Amino acid sequence: MLEKIEQIRAEVQQLTATTPEEAEQHRIKYLSKKGQVTMLMDEFRSVPAEQKRELGKKINELKQFVQDKINSLKEQVATSLTSGPQVDLTRTPYPIPLGTRHPLTIVKNEIVDIFSRLGFTMAEGPEVEDDWHVYSSMNFADDHPARDMQDTFFIEAHPDIILRSHTSSVQSRVMEQSQPPIRVICPGRVYRNEAISARAHCFFHQVEGLYIDKGVSFTDLKQILLLFAQEMFGEKTQIRLRPSYFPFTEPSAEMDISCHLCGGKGCSFCKHTGWVEILGCGMVDPAVLEAGGIDSTQYTGYAFGMGIERITNLKYQVKDLRMFSENDTRFLDEFKSAY
């Protein structure tokens, strides 16, 4: 038995392992219920009494030696796995190209950043809305054309529930939930029942702004829009305001900027007028303030709204709106250097 003990000790002394599985196999071979060291313990029962003390000591020393050796192998394997180069065996062998931000996201972030620096905070609301927040609270008459099925997506089972057609619904919710001063910017996706073409889509993105406080005037609106235009399109950009009509503002205006391609001299992009329309704006109608729970005799405010696709077209001259939603990586890769 002494020879077998020394033989096992010599074998264990030479053991090596490169994986946790190999180390575990060594443990099973020597220390499991049917392992070689355990078998020695069974043979020990038939050893003469006068030899038991010596052999028992040798077997216990062997068992401890084997246990220490296997523990050492396991530690070595674990160390080599954590310190060596890590290889993800599930990773594709093909190069993975880096993605880019979507051009609409780039422009939206730029718009939000500009108005954030002008003191506006961002507000968001649900895309599935009710008629009150989208139309009624915004002073739309019951027979207003925008309510027609040709413009608005209605939920068939619930005619009062619609997909919002503008982000003014967020302004309505803000007015309901807070009191002036209010200064918010509301970006989001909107939906309209229109035929998809190069110039129109059934969904697009808007950014609307709202400022309500005591003494707010049209002059404040004009100044904030001039600062925005110069930040977005360059410090030489000029603006002009043309009278218009919107149910939720009075007076209302549409704003043009001087064409940044020709410098206002006239080109095919601005149809040789020197001006390009970018947004609508105006002073908040008192009826809208009252619908939002704000005293129109104490407070005034202005609002404005623009299409993010429109601003993106002006900055990057994308002539087909459908390109924004087709996920063509060749198109998206052109904006790698835009942020």
Average pLDDT over residues 318-323: 85
328 band by pLDDT with thresholds 50, 70 and 90 = confident
Residue 83: what pLDDT? 61
Q: Which of 66-80, 271-285, 296-310 has the lowest mean pLDDT?
A: 66-80
CA distance 229 to 65: 80
Angstrom distances, CA of residue 270 to CA of 235, 263, 264, 325, 331:
19, 10, 9, 25, 24
Residue 49 has pLDDT above 80, yes or no: no
Residue 6: what pLDDT? 81
For 19-32, what is each residue's pLDDT tens digit?
888 888 888 888 88
Residue 286: what pLDDT? 95
8 band by pLDDT with thresholds 50, 70 and 90 = confident
Cis peptide before 251 (omega within 30 of 0): yes
Residue 14: what pLDDT? 85
Residue 149: what pLDDT? 62
Residue 314: what pLDDT? 85
Rounded to the nearest integer, the mean pLDDT of the chain is 87
Supply the pTM of this predicted model.
0.69
Angle at 120 between CA 116 and CA 126, to 5 degrees: 105
Token pair belonging to 120: 């506006």
Please give the sequence-ordered ranges of beta strands (E in DSSP) within the chain, or none if there are none.
121-122, 128-130, 154-155, 158-163, 182-191, 203-213, 239-246, 249-258, 275-284, 300-307
339 band by pLDDT with thresholds 50, 70 and 90 = low
Residue 207: what pLDDT? 96
Residue 111: what pLDDT? 95
CA distance 108 to 209: 13
Query: Over pLDDT 90: what percentage of the chain?
Result: 45
Could you tell me if 170 and 186 are in contact, meaning their C-beta atoms sit under 8 angstroms apart?
yes
CA distance 225 to 322: 28
In the chain, domain spans: 2-83, 103-338
Domain 103-338 belongs to what topology? BirA Bifunctional Protein; domain 2 (3.30.930)
Residue type, 227: L
Could you tell me if 339 and 285 are in contact, meaning their C-beta atoms sit under 8 angstroms apart?
no
Residue 12: what pLDDT? 81
Residue 265: what pLDDT? 80
Residue 114: what pLDDT? 95
Residue 85 has pLDDT above 80, yes or no: no
Task: Tell me the Cα Rg of the chain.
Answer: 37
Residue identified by tokens 């900027």 is 257
Residue type, 332: L
Average pLDDT over residues 143-168: 83
Average pLDDT over residues 7-30: 84
Does residue 50 or residue 277 have the better pLDDT?
277
Does residue 133 or residue 314 have the better pLDDT?
133
Residue 30: what pLDDT? 81
